[in-house]
Amino acid sequence: MSVTRKDRRLLFIGAGERADDWVPAFAAQAPDVPFIVYEDGMDVGAFRYAIIWRPNPPVVTQLSNLEVIFGMGAGVERLLGDPSIPDRIPIVRMVEPGLTGGMVEYVLWQTIYHHRRIWELEEAQREARWVNQYYPAPWERQIGILGLGQLGSAAARLLVEYGFKVKGWSRSRKSVDEVKSFAGAEELPQFLEGVEILVCLLPLTADTQGIINAGVFNQLPMGSILINAARGGHLNEADLLQALGSGRLAAATLDVFHVEPLPEGHPFWLHPRIFMTPHNASLTHPATAAIEIKRQIERHESGLPLEHVADRNRGY
């Protein structure tokens, strides 16, 4: 099949994911970017653009004219770890307002849940027990965000607007209004000092694998909270259970797990102080993602650099 510069078809290579909502979203929002769902035996040689959540190596190797891979999500560790994807193909992380908005909403929801210790009220009501509960004002509550990127900085801004004290940790120093920025491994201890609610929004890389562990918990005040909405691989699960047992942590919210779905019988399922969501802290919204992908394809075609391209050396 011949390849033309005008061919904007986007090949969706799924690994069990549904694309039902994506086809109409592209038809409505980006009609000049036809969204084509891969089917077995399809001739894919002419496609210049693909969108992938989980890699499917046999298909990727047939994409001889591929120019760009769009990750269906913000986290692209699986795509970066797939040796069948040639290094020359840029992998664009998903950055779109629906995904950011959903994460900001989740972080605010869970921060308030723990700030107001709503779980304590739920426990008391189940036992028909009146509880005299004290909670500090938001400006007396220190939140710490691991990862001040697209999602972390958006969450930080909303928490500040809400009145919380917020600090953030990233590789490079950031400037987000009223958010104290800490950068690099050497500033992690200063960042952790006094953090009562620790939110993880880091990418999963060789450097961040297992980063939320006993060493981190032991630097937080007694009775702190963990919210992990990034990747299960960031968390040392045994250390979390121990920290909850010792009271170092009062509770944790987890959206992501080492193995998903979380296996039957896993100790997290019935833990009274672990609150779980099924890796849906946020979702990529097909309508807003279609607008973003069209914008990126237009940049690419007019010779402008793509944005949000994952860096293979950094791993995100």
Q: Is the peptide bond before 97 cis (omega within 30 degrees of 0)?
A: no
Footprint of ligand OXD (CB under 6 A): 73-75, 94, 284
195 near ligand NDP, rule: CB under 6 A: no
Q: Which of 293, 312, 298, 310 is nearest to 51 (CA)?
A: 293
Residue 149 interacting partner from ligand NDP, ligand OXD, none (CB closer than 5 to 8 Å by kind): ligand NDP
d(CA 168, CA 178): 10
Rounded to the nearest whole angstrom, what is the least distance from the CB of residue 65 to ligand NDP in the complex?
28
| Chosen residue from 110, 253, 282, 296 binding ligand NDP by CB under 6 A | 282
Residue of closest CB approach to ligand NDP? 149
Site stretch for ligand NDP (CB under 6 A), options 110-118, 265-273, 275-283, 296-304: 275-283
172 near ligand NDP, rule: CB under 6 A: yes
205 near ligand NDP, rule: CB under 6 A: yes
296 near ligand NDP, rule: CB under 6 A: no
> Cβ–Cβ contacts within 10 Å for residue 78, how many?
15
User: Which strands form 10-13's sheet, in the order they lie side by side?
Assistant: 35-37, 10-13, 49-52, 68-71, 91-92
| Chosen residue from 30, 159, 195, 202 binding ligand NDP by CB under 6 A | 202
Between 55 and 75, whose beta carbon lies closer to ligand OXD? 75
Rounded to the nearest whole angstrom, what is the least distance from the CB of residue 103 to ligand NDP in the complex?
6
Q: How many residues bind ligand NDP (CB under 6 A)?
A: 31
Catalytic annotation present for 273: no
Q: Which of 38, 29, 80 is nearest to 63 (CA)?
A: 38
Helices (H), ranges, the chain: 22-29, 57-60, 77-80, 97-115, 118-126, 150-162, 188-192, 214-217, 237-246, 286-301
Rounded to the nearest whole angstrom, what is the least distance from the CB of residue 280 to ligand NDP in the complex?
6
257 near ligand NDP, rule: CB under 6 A: no
Q: What are the angstrom distances between the C-alpha of 291 and each of 79, 149, 158?
A: 22, 21, 24
What SS3 state is found at 36?
strand
292 near ligand NDP, rule: CB under 6 A: no
Rounded to the nearest whole angstrom, what is the least distance from the CB of residue 228 to ligand OXD in the complex?
12
CB hemisphere CA count around 244 (13 angstroms): 17
Catalytic annotation present for 231: yes
| Chosen residue from 171, 258, 271, 273 binding ligand NDP by CB under 6 A | 171
d(CA 52, CA 13): 5
Within residues 101-160, the interface with ligand NDP by CB under 6 A covers 103, 147-152
Catalytic position from the list 231, 234, 300, 308: 231
Length of the chain, in residues: 316
CB 287 within 8 A of CB 29: yes
- What is the separation of C-alpha 232 from the centre of its chain, rounded to a whole number of angstroms? 11
CB 117 within 8 A of CB 135: yes
Task: Please report, as ranges, the residues that interact with ligand NDP according to CB under 6 A.
Answer: 73-75, 99, 103, 147-152, 169-172, 201-205, 207-208, 229-231, 255-256, 279, 281-282, 316
| Active site (catalytic) residues | 231, 279
